[in-house]
Chain A
Amino acid sequence: MKYVRYIIYGIIFAIILIKVEAISWFRIQEMFLFQSFHMYGVLFSAIGVALIGVQLVKLRNKSVEDSKKIPLSKKELRLKANIIGGILFGLGWAITGACPGPIYALIGLNVLPAILVLFGALGGTYVYLSVKSKLP
């Protein structure tokens, strides 16, 4: 049954991203062209709320026994990977106007060429997995 829950989370997340237009190529261009505060507002307020939530979770974790702690793990710092991977991701993000979540939401919205972006992303991931031991 937990799969049903995961699907419902996906539906909710897609609806939020679509309603706030974060899945729109036009909005991503507008953000990088510094022509509106909209996407910055979305990102900053999302991060702000999540940051407060994480702090509350940390406080709660201090006062409960280990088995009840909510796991919080930071992604490991890998300087070169974070920088090079980050820049590559950004290049694709601005061209397609879609980061991974929006790719799926766009397919649902019947913007079918987004399937091409998904195929590309799966190809890029496959190549990454094949060469990752040789990367810096």
Chain B
Amino acid sequence: MNELLNQLIYESWPWYIGGPLIGIFAISVLLLERKALGVSSSFEQFCSVALPAGESRNFILKDTWQIWFVFGMVLGGAVLFFSGLTVDSVAISEGAKSVLTEQGLTDLTGYAPKELYTFAIPQAIILVIGGFVIGFGARYAGGCTAGHSIMGIAQLAPSSIISTIGFFVGGLISTYLIVPQILSL
């Protein structure tokens, strides 16, 4: 029992623990707050500060719970970081390691590759552009992986199923055509 507890505290979780917890979490928020889990609306709420006062701004600011929610998400990351309860390397498969190494990555430690996650040019520009299409795409599609792929598909919403297929089509295009170019920079 102690061993299991230690493992859960100090190590990463297998999918069959983390995945169901995400589902339980989404339903808990629904029951406790009568709100559907979602993250990308927070982008609109931050942006609405810069929008002219009017109907669309009022519509976006009708419910700003996500602003507090995403602030909590930053805090959650900080809690794990400062308590040292993070892992040095993510346990990806040998197959994934060899593909990424072949594409030019030399450092596979951390949660994100230091060779891409840097303030150096051109990587910094790539991160901004990547973020730009995430923000534009998520709001255009009406949600992201949380709102569409989890809460939306759980309701069998056609818009969420189609959007999620889109997420994967875009992801595959990037992974096979764009990421190898970026890693070879």
**Interface residue ranges, A against B (CB under 8 Å):** 2-3, 5-30, 32-33, 35-54, 57, 70-79, 81-101, 103-114, 116-129, 132, 135
Contacts and interface: CB of A to CB of B under 8 A. Distances in A.
Given A82-B162, A100-B43, A124 B170 contact: no
Contacts of A103: 131, 134
Interface string B154-185: 11111110111111111111111011001000
Contact of B43 (A9, A76, A88, A122): A122
A33 B175 contact: yes
A77 B148 CA distance: 11
28 contacts: A6-B66, A9-B25, A15-B79, A16-B22, A17-B22, A20-B13, A30-B96, A35-B96, A46-B20, A47-B153, A48-B23, A50-B150, A54-B154, A54-B155, A57-B30, A79-B162, A82-B159, A84-B141, A86-B164, A90-B170, A94-B173, A103-B134, A117-B134, A120-B128, A121-B43, A121-B132, A126-B47, A129-B44
B12 A21 contact: yes
Interface in B47-75: 47-48, 50-51, 56, 65-66, 68-75
Contacts of B131: 92, 96, 103, 116-124
A123 B135 contact: yes
Sorting the interface of chain B by its residue count into under 10, 10 to 19, 20 to 34 or 35 or more gives: 35 or more
Contacts, number: 495
Contact of B147 (A18, A53, A75, A109): A75
A7 B72 CA distance: 4
B159 A116 contact: no
Interface in B80-95: 80-81, 86-87, 90-93, 95
A86 B137 CA distance: 6
Contacts of B80: 14-15, 18-19, 108-109
Nearest to A84: B140
Contact of B116 (A25, A38, A99, A108): A25
Best-surrounded residue of A9, A45, A135 (most CB of chain B within 10 A): A9
Contacts of A70: 30-31, 34
Best-surrounded residue of B75, B130, B143, B146 (most CB of chain A within 10 A): B130
